[in-house]
Amino acid sequence: MRASGREGGRRPARRTGAGRRSFTSTLRALDDLAASGARVAVRIDDLDRGTTVLAGDDNDTLPVGGLGVVPLLVEVAAAFEDGRLNPLDIVDRSALDPVAVAGVWQHLKAPALPLIDVAVLAASVGDALAANALLERVGLPAVRTRLEALGLGRSALLDRFRDRRGPDDAPRVALSSARELASLFAGLVNSRIVDPRVSAQVSEWLSLNTDLSLVASATGLDPFAHENDDHGLLFVNKTGRDDGVRAEAGVLAGPRAGVSYALIVCFDDLSIAHRLRAHDAFRVLGLELMEYVF
C-alpha cells in the first residue's frame, strides 16, 4: 500500500507478525485506492501476540466522521461512573438545535429520553442529535482532556454534528489516526480505557452498532442482534462517514486469533462508482480479517 496526498513520493505499508495471512488482497485494494488519489490509513494489531499485522500511514491524522463519537462515549461513561452525570437525567429534544444528517431520534414521537438511552442511540445508530445532546452535557473541553489522558494526541472531537458547516464552524466533526483508533478499541475490550467499568460500558454500547456494511459485512452477523454469536465471534465496531470519508475501527476475535483494526479512506466522492470502490476495500479487509481470526 502507498500513501497519497503527500510530497516526496509514497511509502509502502509494513507487515510484521502476519504469520497466518499476508492480507495480499487488502494491500492490492488499498494500493488501487491510493493510486486513484485517495488518502488511505490502515492498522491491524494482533491482540494475543501484541504484534502489528498491517500498518500503512497509520500515524496520519485524518477526518473520521462519526467515529469521533467513541471518545465522547468514553467521557460520558466516565461521568456516569464518577457521578458527574446521572444516567437517568432527562434530555429534552426541543432544547437542541435540529440536525438531520443521521439517526432515528428525529423520527420518534418521544420528545425526551434519559441520558443513558441517548448514549445507546449515539452508539447503535450513529444518531447525530443524540451525540450532540451528549456533547452538550459533557462539553468539548472534557472530551479533549480525556483524549489527552488516554494518550491519544492525534485524535480530536472538533465540533458537534451539523447539517451545514459555515466558515466559522470546524471543517470536520472529528479527526484521528488509524493507529490510535485501533489502540482505543483494543483498550476497550481489554478493560484499559479509564477503568474496567467504563471500558465495559462503552464496549456494551458499541456492541449494539447496527452498521455492519463495511468491514463488518464479511462477518455474516445480524446487524440488529449480534451481541452473542453462536460461532464464537466477538465483534465490536464503529463506523464514521462524511463527505468523501469512510472509516471503521473495531475488534474482531475468533477461535484462532483476535485483532483490533482501523481503516480510514478519504476519497473524491465524484460518483457512485468512486464511493463503491472505497466501500469494496473495506469489505476485502473484512474477508481477510475473518480468515485471520478463524
127 within 8 A of 119, measured Cβ to Cβ: no
Rg of the chain's alpha carbons, rounded to an integer? 18
| DSSP assignment letter at 251 | E
- pLDDT, residue 227, reads 77
Q: Residue 124 corresponds to which cell in the numbers above?
A: 447503535
Burial zone of 238 (CB within 10 Å; 0-12 exposed, 13-18 middle, 19+ buried)? buried
Structural domain boundaries enclosing 89: 24-293
* DSSP-assigned states of every residue in 41-73: EEEEEETTTTEEEEEESTT--EE-GGGGHHHHH
Q: Is residue 18 part of a domain?
A: no
* 121 part of a folded domain: yes
| Cross-strand bridge partners of residue 167 | none
Whether 36 is in a domain gets the answer: yes
Give a yes or no: residue 9 inside a domain: no
Residue 78 lies in a domain: yes
Task: Provide the pLDDT for residue 100.
Answer: 85
Residue 14 located in a structural domain: no
Report d(CA 91, CA 133) in Å as an integer. 7
Give the pLDDT confidence score for residue 231 in this predicted structure: 82
Read off φ and ψ for residue 262, nearest 5 degrees: -155, 140
In a domain, 7, yes or no: no
Number of domains making up the chain: 1
* pLDDT tens, N- to C-terminus, the chain (294 residues): 533 333 333 333 443 444 456 899 999 999 999 999 999 999 999 999 999 999 999 999 999 999 999 999 999 999 999 999 999 999 999 999 989 888 999 999 999 999 999 999 999 999 999 999 999 999 999 999 999 999 999 999 999 999 999 999 999 999 999 999 999 999 999 999 999 999 999 999 999 999 999 999 999 999 998 877 778 899 999 999 999 999 999 999 999 999 999 999 999 999 999 999 999 999 999 999 999 999
Note whether 46 and 257 are within 8 A (CB): yes
Edge-to-edge strand list for the sheet holding 39-46:
51-56, 39-46, 258-266, 245-253, 234-242
81 C-beta neighbours (distance < 10 Å), count: 15
Q: Which residue has the cell 466477538?
A: 234
In 91-212, which ranges are continuous DSSP H helix? 115-125, 128-138, 140-149, 178-189, 196-206
Name the residue among 217, 229, 200, 205 with its Cα closest to residue 276: 217
Place of cell 501476540: 49
Query: How much is the pLDDT for 19?
Result: 47
- Residue 20 is predicted with a pLDDT of 55
Q: Which of 264, 261, 268 is nearest to 287 (CA)?
A: 261
CA 77, 175, 289, 52 torsion-angle sign: negative
Return the CATH number at 237. 3.40.710.10
Closest CA relative to residue 243, chosen from 279, 223, 270, 218: 270
In a domain, 8, yes or no: no
